[in-house]
Amino acid sequence: MIRFFAAPIAAIALLSTAAGGAFAEGFDSRDIMGFGPSFFRGGSSPIPRTTVYYTGNYAPGTVVVNTSERRLYLVLQNGQALRYGIGVGRDGFRWGGVHRITAKKEWPDWTPPSQMLARRPDLPRHMKGGIENPLGARAMYLGSTLYRIHGSNEPETIGQAVSSGCFRMTNEDVSDLYSRVSVGTKVVVLNN
């Protein structure tokens, strides 16, 4: 059994040495399973996901978006929540209200709404889902609004007010949230 693993490890070590260490520095074992940085191509969030104490009066499973904090909370049991960094709407595009997640999509297509096309006629009329798509790896659609909680390939925008009203997360964080919520989940958007 030891011999079975020894050969691949020796091969990696040899390649690393032959490449002057460059192979080892650029290698991330998570890429083998398809979930490393090359898969999500967006880097990590400048605001790390963390479990925090949460005093809000919401039932476990509720998603609370606090636009002034630029944070999204998934309420857990025992007065805790998962806190994620998000990008929010820029001035004039922030909003508040209570909705439910009405749809979830992996690698969603993007069709800019007419209001966005009026402001930005240079945008494509439709874009297939994929790594270059601005909705990123996952999207959760909010009620009958035009807005979503979605991924982003621009991690530097997390914590910023840059969108047209949607809530951006890194692809890694939006994939984590996507796996924890379902269609019908209540989403409270606080715009203080």
Instruction: Copy the structure tokens of residue 87.
Output: 């990008």
| Phi, psi (deg, nearest 5) at residue 90 | -75, 175
86, 142, 166, 187: which one is catalytic?
Answer: 166
| Phi, psi (deg, nearest 5) at residue 65 | -105, 120
* 99 catalytic residue (yes or no): no
49, 138, 148, 150: which one is catalytic?
Answer: 150
Cα end-to-end span (Å), the chain: 60
Torsion of CA 61, 66, 70, 72, to 10 degrees: 0
Instruction: Copy the structure tokens of residue 7.
Output: 């050969």
* One-letter identity of residue 26: G
How far is residue 93's CA from residue 95's CA, in Å, rounded to a whole number? Answer: 6
Signed CA dihedral, 118, 94, 88, 185: sign only: negative
* 126 catalytic residue (yes or no): no
| Active-site amino acid positions | 150, 166
